[in-house]
Amino acid sequence: MQRGSDRLSVHKDDEMKHELQGLIRSGHPTRAEEWHDPEPAADDDPDVALGPVPARGTTGEAEAVRFEFARRLGRTSFPADREELLRVLEDRHAPDGLIALAEELPADRTFHTVQEVVSALGLRPST
């Protein structure tokens, strides 16, 4: 039974299904006009498959970790010790990898900047 809530007619709906058949079967765009297709990733786009926190020992790790800490903590979190930083990270729903890094910080030290946090983790900027 038709309820009349469709925005399109039955004919238009069938036409759209027919247009999608090639995409569904082939797994890639089949249109002749490129402007219909989404833009592919650029060579210099950051890798997002690994998550927001890079693995230990990767190139640019210090910069990426500093960026993630700065993004999650902000300026108002400082000065703070390890427990305060962990509380703020958990309150702001930081990724588990970032919280695990913060757990490695020395408990007896007060941090005044994100750079101090990254340096306490033993990470050095790549040259």
CA–chain centroid gap for 69, Å, is 13
Q: Which of 15-29, 50-64, 95-109 has the lowest mean pLDDT?
A: 50-64
Residues 97-126: b if buried by 16+ CB within 10 A, e if exposed? bbbebbeebeeeeebeebeebbeebebeee
Asked if residue 23 has pLDDT above 80, the reply is no
The tens digit of pLDDT for each residue in 60-88 reads: 677 888 888 888 888 888 889 999 999 99
More confident residue, 96 or 1: 96
Could you tell me the pLDDT band of residue 6, with boundaries at 50, 70 and 90?
low
What was the pLDDT predicted at 82? Answer: 92
